[in-house]
A = this chain, B = another copy of it.
């Protein structure tokens, strides 16, 4: 893949990405794409995943690139990613994957109930409420994944504004409907046995769900502007 196609893939999810930014990220040692004999950058799927990771962390956690690079180096060496930032910063979690090896590590993110409560800074009653409304579902062995951590943390912060889990029930239904829409698009790709088709299906899932989330955000913003006008 050349740099232009990478841009095309990423900018649905990250609208402010640019060619010069991708080149800059390579310059800073965050990706190392191969080169063609003529010097053109050749990005692999893993490279794109890596960029996605960088852009996601940058957007969601406001970490400087130097720190993100250190995290990536730690991940490449199979080490645990360092805890991010100060007391209020959540542990760095993403299932947007990095390389196949590090992606496995992210997918394997396992938190006990106690760890989840501590890292999300929430109480057991709030977690129980979130579970009872289906906003968080533990694995069969009782552990929780990275998404559960994000949900718990966010719900905790919303609770500080007086928004309780029962107010969030509708979120689950809306999310399920959107996921269903995405699945409808991706299902035909998934049915193929080709492993490359499977990779494309995963890429498409991310892309389309990114578009859905973007649409959702824009509509919430519109509704709020209309409401306060």
Q: Which residues of B sit under 8 angstroms from A174, Cβ to Cβ?
A: 170, 174, 177, 216, 219
Whole-angstrom CA separation of A108 from B224 in the bound complex:
16
Q: Which residues of B sit under 8 angstroms from A212, Cβ to Cβ?
A: 158, 171, 220
B215 contacts A62, C-beta separation under 8 Å: no
Stretch at the interface among A29-37, A45-53, A90-98, A111-119: A90-98
A220 contacts B94, C-beta separation under 8 Å: no
B92 contacts A219, C-beta separation under 8 Å: no
Q: What range describes how many residues of A lie at the interface?
A: 35 or more
- Map CB proximity to B onto A28-67 as digits: 1 under 8 Å, 0 otherwise: 0000000000000000000000000001001110100000
Whole-angstrom CA separation of A222 from B175 in the bound complex:
9
Q: Which one of B62, B147, B154, B209 lies within 8 Å of A211 (CB-CB)?
A: B154
The verdict on A217 contacting chain B, using a C-beta distance below 8 Å, is: yes
Question: Nearest chain B CB to A175's CB is how many angstroms away?
Answer: 4
Q: How many copies does the complex hold?
A: 2
Question: Nearest chain B CB to A70's CB is how many angstroms away?
Answer: 17
Q: Given the known A-B contacts A171-B216, A176-B223, A225-B88, are A96 and B58 also in contact in the complex, defined by CB atoms under 8 Å?
A: yes
Interface residues, chain A, with chain B CB atoms under 8 Å away: 12, 15-16, 55, 58-60, 62, 87-97, 100, 103, 135, 137, 145, 147-148, 150-151, 154-155, 157-158, 161-163, 167-168, 170-172, 174-183, 185, 190, 204-205, 207-209, 211-228
| Those 6 A-B pairs whose CB atoms lie nearest each other, nearest first | A175-B219, A179-B223, A174-B174, A150-B218, A147-B222, A154-B215
